[in-house]
Structure 1
Amino acid sequence: MEFDYTMTTIKPFDVAVLAVEEEIVKAGMRVLYVHDVQKSLVEKGFQRDQFKIVEFCNAKYANEFLNADIKIGLCMPCKINVYVKDGEAFISGMRPIVLSQFFPHADLGEMPKEIDQIIRNIIDNAK
């Protein structure tokens, strides 16, 4: 089982970021914040290709995960990264199905699979 779901995109970087944000909303989630990692690192004197982290959440799922194990909050909110590496743009997200490995005693039911599918759909539709 892969930790991440990563796809390439031919869209320009900023268009890909906007597409991810739009697909998150279509999926019934809420965009919380977009971190401009490249900008933050450049301000500190480091060079980095374009890199943004889109944080998003759904209150219902968040509450259920936290009820199952409060430490799952360490993995929240969901994030999708959009970045450029070697001149190619990528859209990448952590697969929630791995949560069962980190929290084997938590009764997560089908939630990790459901969120995993939502994240994969967001990425597929945004690419």
Structure 2
Amino acid sequence: MFHYTAETTASVQNAIAALETSLKEEQFGVLWQFNLREKLKEKGFDFEREYVVLEVCNPAEANRVINENVLAGHFLPCKIVVYEGDGKTKIGMPKPTAFMNMLEDDALMGIAADVEARLMKCINRAANP
């Protein structure tokens, strides 16, 4: 499977706050937060569900990846989405290993697997505080 998703009963905003705290524990920071619902409404589209995209980065890991293979930059920064679905809040991400697998680089796969495990841990901590 190319993605990972956890569920929580917390609100989207509370889940984002918990996620930001959890990410800091793994030296990841939120570079950018994009509220898809607000942007679509601004453009005249009716989208009622809360849906927020976070771009996250750990500078040390980004440096390792780019120095290993410059093409890996196509997949940076990592994205995590927090949204409403089926009466719950979901926190999910595309798996870094799924992206890095396209480059067929064993060293990158090792880094991606480590980053993926750490981000999944952050998501799980945010979903189950």
Q: Quick check: TM above 0.5? A: yes
Structure 1 position 106, deviation (Å): 6.1
Q: 1:27 is aligned with what amino acid?
A: E
SS state at 2:32 partner: strand
- Say whether the 8 Å CA contact 2:97–2:109 is kept in structure 1: no
In the alignment of these two chains, the number of paired residues is: 126
Q: Residue type matched to 2:82 in 1?
A: V
In structure 1, stretches of 5+ residues that fail to align are: none
Q: Report deviation, 1:73.
A: 1.1
**Aligned partner of 1:108: which letter?**
L
1:106–1:71 distance in 2 versus 1, CA, 3 Å? farther
The percent of aligned pairs where both chains have the same amino acid is 27
Give 1:89's aligned residue: 89
**Is the Cα–Cα contact under 8 Å of residues 69 and 106 in structure 1 kept in the other structure?**
no
Contact 2:28–2:56 at 8 Å: present in 1 too?
A: yes
Q: Which runs of 4+ in 1 moved over 6 A?
A: none
Asked whether the 8 Å contact 2:82–2:90 carries over to 1, the reply is yes
Contact 1:100 1:106 in 2 (8 A): no
1:70-122: CA deviations, max 9, x gaps? 12111110111001124321100111122342110463152111101111101
Instruction: Let me know the Cα RMSD of the aligned residues.
Output: 1.5
Q: Output the TM-score relative to the length of structure 2.
A: 0.89
Q: Partner letter of residue 36 of structure 2?
A: V
